[in-house]
Amino acid sequence: MSASFSQMKINSDEFNWRNEQGLLTYNNLPAIIIWNQGLEILMMSIDEIAGEEKTNEILTAFGKRLGVMVSQSYSD
C-alpha cells in the first residue's frame, strides 16, 4: 500500500492527514473530528450524570482551558 498524505491550509491553519498512521493533525498537533450529534450526546450524558450545576462548572473550566490553549497557539 502506498503512503497517503493529504494537506489543507485555511488562512494560517494547517490540517494534515497521514493515512498509513491514521493520524490527523491541526497545526502539527494531534486532532480528532467529532460530529455535532456526538458532541451533543456527550454533553447530555455529562449533564445527566453530573447534574446541571456540575455541568456548568465543567463547561466553565473547559472553556477557560481551551481559551488559554487557543490564545497561546495564535500568539506563537
Tens digits of per-residue pLDDT, 27-50?
A: 999 999 999 999 999 999 999 999
Whole-angstrom Cα distance, residue 45 to residue 29?
27
Q: How many domains does the chain have?
A: 2
Asked if residue 75 and residue 42 are part of one domain, the reply reads yes
Asked if residue 15 and residue 46 are part of one domain, the reply reads no
Asked if residue 38 and residue 28 are part of one domain, the reply reads no
Asked if residue 41 and residue 29 are part of one domain, the reply reads no
Range of the domain at 61: 34-76
Q: Are 27 and 13 in contact (CB under 8 A)?
A: yes
For 29, the enclosing helix (H) or strand (E) is: strand 29-30
Q: What is the pLDDT of residue 73?
A: 78
Whole-angstrom Cα distance, residue 20 to residue 70?
28
Task: Tell me the mean pLDDT in the region 43-59.
Answer: 94
Percent of the chain with pLDDT over 70: 95
Asked if residue 11 and residue 26 are part of one domain, the reply reads yes
User: pLDDT band at residue 5, thresholds of 50, 70 and 90?
Assistant: confident
Asked if residue 56 and residue 29 are part of one domain, the reply reads no
